[in-house]
Structure 1
Amino acid sequence: MSKADLSKKPEAVSAMFDSVAHSYDKTNDLLSFGQSRFWRGKVAKAVAAKSGERILDIAAGTGTSSMAFVGPGISVVAADFSNGMLNEGRKRYPQLEFVFADAMRLPFKDQEFDVVTMSFGLRNVSDHRVALGEFLRVLKPGGRLVICEFSHVPGLLGVLYRFYLRNFLPKFSALFSKSPEAYDYLAESIAAWPNQKQLAQDIANAGFSGVGFKNLTLGVVALHTAVKQ
């Protein structure tokens, strides 16, 4: 598998996620020591879906994240760039609308959604700034953006966390995943990703207002929020 600093070629990223689709949710739960469920709950609270709203969940994978937004009168679109993930999701959650979509060229109309959310996917886009522009385009005025992404742990804890990512995560993942190279990519892509303040600035530069972020699990993950004026 290509390393994070060498490629985020769409076909390579898509193929990587195709290869882990069947075991993706279970493996993530194990490798995050159950924190993935906590993070999904925080995303759902930030999205605060309301009846009558249309929500776009990008990089939805198998749809597990999207199910948190389902409710009376709420329309949820689960979009992903991996057909393997989408096919797995359609089997698990037939009540969801699954759509193949590239985050940098979304197949949706302008001002179509009340909320755009993306969890652990923006880091995999070859140009996340282009994707942020697309999110702005498909949001209605007043629409909300919620981005949950791996980030940077400060201080000594950050040193220990990066050591875990480099030295233990790939080996640990090999016990549970048939594609441990995907978790080599995960560790390297996290290290290469902008920190919390840098990503917040990128969101603001894309044209969003009210940009803010909150660290989760000591900064292992950051929850970014913003609004389209």
Structure 2
Amino acid sequence: MPEPKAVNSMFARIARRYDIANRLLSGGMDVWWRWRMVRRVARGQPTDILDLATGSGDVAFSISRNVASANQIVGMDFCQPMLDEAVKKQAADVRKRYGNIRFQQGDGLALPLPDDAFDAVTIAFGLRNMGDRHRSLSEMHRVLRKNGRVFVLEFSRPQSWFRPIYLFYLRHGLPWLAGLVTGDRAAYIYLNETIEAFPDRTALCAEFLAAGFSRVESAGWTFGVVALHTAVK
């Protein structure tokens, strides 16, 4: 499992160029993946939503724009420099669309939030970085209301013909490009290592069940490069 202090330090180093790196390294697909997840969130018409590992706030902003029922959105991350980037983006929005978002620092392994507080919890590309996945999933379960839903968007590993192409890019192309963009090649070697060490979709579904969730579902997108897992409390 990742070591929290090292992960925090790594994200602090790349925070200012995190968004541009995401767009470049994914060919812009990361925006579409997040939007697809948010569209799923909107179907349940949640009013109170927690976006965990919010980073620079992309999912929280998308929820604010696309989930009409959203009354309160809490964007939480344990890396303050990443949250600083989110707050800057919120303040820079001349249309002032994001008044229902509150950004807050917090640890995904011990959320500073009450029980039964949210209708939905989202987390995009953050579960891999948790030092204890079971504890993190259990915390998400705790803060959800009965029948609330969790949405976990995470990298996966293709099982089709695309797998060798993807792994070559992940192991060689991505760290090189990321080094040029962010100046921190090591951070994206870490990305590769955590993706390859992450459980497959079947194993991750079992972890949701072990944390107390039911009605667990998963769907692979873009040849299986990413997967959306959903579950109900």
Q: Under TM normalisation by the shorter chain, which class is it? A: over 0.9
Q: CA deviation at 1:112?
A: 0.5
Distance 2:49 2:108 in 1: 15
Distance 1:75 1:25 in 2: 24
**Structure 2 residue aligned with 1:38:** 32
CA shift digits 1:22-69 (9 cap, x unpaired) = 111111011001110110111101111766611000010011111111
Which structure has the highest helix share of the two? 2
Q: CA deviation at 1:212?
A: 0.3
**Structure 2 residue aligned with 1:108:** 113
**Structure 2 residue aligned with 1:18:** 12
* Letter of the 1:183 counterpart: Y
TM-score, with normalisation over the residues of structure 2?
Answer: 0.91
Q: CA deviation at 1:72?
A: 6.0
Distance 2:16 2:44 in 1: 31
* Letter of the 1:180 counterpart: R
**Structure 2 residue aligned with 1:9:** 3
Moved over 4 A (4+): 49-52
| 2:63 aligned with 1:56 | no
**Superposition RMSD on alpha carbons, in Å?**
1.5
| 2:66 aligned with 1:89 | no
Asked whether the equivalents of residues 49 and 70 of structure 2 are also in contact (C-alpha less than 8 Å), the reply is no
1:186-225 mapped onto 2 (5 Å cutoff):
186-225=191-230
* Letter of the 1:90 counterpart: V
- Give the SS at the match of 1:18: helix
Distance 1:213 1:50 in 2: 17
**Structure 1 residue aligned with 2:96:** none
Name which of 95, 99, 103 aligns with 2:104.
99
Q: Mind listing any 5+ residue stretches in structure 2 that lack a counterpart?
A: 92-98
| Worse overlay, 157-166 or 82-91 | 157-166
Asked whether the equivalents of residues 119 and 149 of structure 1 are also in contact (C-alpha less than 8 Å), the reply is yes
- Give the SS at the match of 1:69: helix
Q: CA deviation at 1:156?
A: 3.3
The number of residues matched between the two structures is: 222
Q: CA deviation at 1:113?
A: 0.5
Distance 2:76 2:230 in 1: 19
* Letter of the 2:220 counterpart: N
Asked whether the equivalents of residues 23 and 30 of structure 2 are also in contact (C-alpha less than 8 Å), the reply is yes
| Worse overlay, 28-37 or 70-79 | 70-79
* Letter of the 1:82 counterpart: C
CA shift digits 1:102-129 (9 cap, x unpaired) = 1110000000011011000000011111
* Letter of the 2:60 counterpart: S
Q: Mind listing any 5+ residue stretches in structure 1 that lack a counterpart?
A: 1-6
TM-score, with normalisation over the residues of structure 1?
Answer: 0.93
Name which of 170, 183, 194 aligns with 1:165.
170
% of aligned pairs identical? 40
* Letter of the 1:93 counterpart: Q
